[in-house]
Structure 1
Amino acid sequence: MNSNLGFDGAFSSLGVTGLFSIIITISSILLAWYLLQELKLDHWFKHPRSPRARVLIAVLSVIVGHLFARFILDYWSWTNVLKLI
């Protein structure tokens, strides 16, 4: 019965890491969306509040937010590996 305790701890650790990654990624996408609202879309679109313009902002938010989250998560992973040296 005690041998399962190691697996439970490992799965719990993976769960916490996954939850942390999800929170960081969603937060980064929301931050990117908030910051991209400041773009002047008048230069690219005739109607800057149209559905096309909003979809563009949403897609750009996901792309930029994901890249930023990946950087944060990679940096966090690298610092954890450096602890082992």
Structure 2
Amino acid sequence: MDGATGFAVSALVNILLSLAGIALSWWVLQNVRLDLFLREPKGIQAKVLYILLSIIFGHGLASFLNDYMSWSQMLGSLFG
């Protein structure tokens, strides 16, 4: 695989991991009782809060997984 193809595959994996992380975070946050801390739990601001928290947590998860994959590849070059 040449350099350009490798970068394209890496970008695609990063995008898919980010979207999967955001979706997983959204799913998990649906079980969190944030309505106890919100004045209007059914309002638009509450929904935006859930979206923002999903993006933040999903990005953190995706960044960790991307870093972990990168570190694993680096370790492979240490022993290979």
Question: Stretches of 4+ moved more than 3 A in 1?
Answer: none
Equivalent position of 2:18 in the other structure: 25
Compute the TM-score of the two structures, normalised by the length of structure 1: 0.86
Identity of aligned residues (%): 33
Of structures 1 and 2, the one with the larger relative CO (CA 8 A, separation 6+) is: 2
Alignment of structure 1 residues 1-85 onto 2, 5 Å: 9-85=2-78
Equivalent position of 1:3 in the other structure: none
Structure 2: runs of 5+ lacking an equivalent: none
Cα deviation, residue 40, structure 1: 1.1
The structure whose Rg is larger is 1
CA RMSD in angstroms comes to: 1.2
Q: Which amino acid aligns with 1:53?
A: A
Compute the TM-score of the two structures, normalised by the length of structure 2: 0.91
The SS at the match of 1:83 is: helix
Query: How many residues were matched structurally?
Result: 78
